[in-house]
Amino acid sequence: MIDPPDQPHTLETLTAALRAAGIRVTRQRAALLRVLAQAVDHPDAPELQKRAEGDVPGISLSTVYRTLATLEAQGVVLRHQFDGTSARFEPAQSTESGHHDHMIDVDTSEVIEFCSDRIEQLQAEIAAELGYEIVHHRFELYVRKARARD
């Protein structure tokens, strides 16, 4: 797991960190890092492949999956498994705020990010009360636009 960034991770610091971890920064990995850094959404593997082909024309889907697994293991990307869809990815420090959770509009599939310190706080308390500490969590709200209040 790569050290928490002193400066926000730039492509350069990231590349260096990976290399230091004995992970070669190949053209395909560099491309995926760039594509992920630019993503404002939560793309899946085929979509990332499509976007990376701008940099590396023949990049294979296997490589995309393998790279995502590697980057996930390094703590550089996050994998989300929303209901009934294939895995979606995002850079680990997407929002500089760091951690956030997701709302999925069940009608449009739009993904909305949010974060509640209160909830994060409560989670820890609940776990602690039962004698556990949280390793990670999954918190997803499947929502629908509210009917206008009448």
Q: Which residues bind DNA (CB under 7 A)?
A: 19, 22-29, 44-45, 56, 58-63, 65-67, 69-70, 81, 86-87
Give, in order, the Cα–Cα distances in Å from 20 to each of 7, 15, 74, 78.
17, 9, 12, 21
The helix/strand/coil state of 76 is coil
Complex with Zn ion: residue 50 or 99, whichever CB lies closer:
99
Can residue 101 be called a binding residue for Zn ion (CB under 5 A)? yes
**Interface region with a copy of itself, contact rule CB under 8 A, candidates 2-10, 39-47, 49-57, 122-130:** 122-130
Spatial separation of the C-alpha atoms in residues 142 and 150, rounded to whole Å: 23
Binding site partner of 73, from Zn ion, a copy of itself, Mn ion, none, Cβ cut-off 5-8 A by kind? none
Unique residue bearing structure tokens 């449009």: 108
Complex with Zn ion: residue 82 or 139, whichever CB lies closer:
139
Unique residue bearing structure tokens 């009448």: 150
Contacts of 87 (CB under 8 A, 6+ apart): 44, 45, 79, 80, 81
Can residue 142 be called a binding residue for a copy of itself (CB under 8 A)? yes
Sign of CA dihedral 87, 41, 147, 120: positive
Unique residue bearing structure tokens 């390094």: 74
Per CB under 5 A, contacts with Mn ion among 66-95 are 90
Binding site partner of 123, from Zn ion, Mn ion, a copy of itself, none, Cβ cut-off 5-8 A by kind? a copy of itself
Residue 68 DSSP code: H
Complex with DNA: residue 67 or 94, whichever CB lies closer:
67
Complex with DNA: residue 24 or 138, whichever CB lies closer:
24
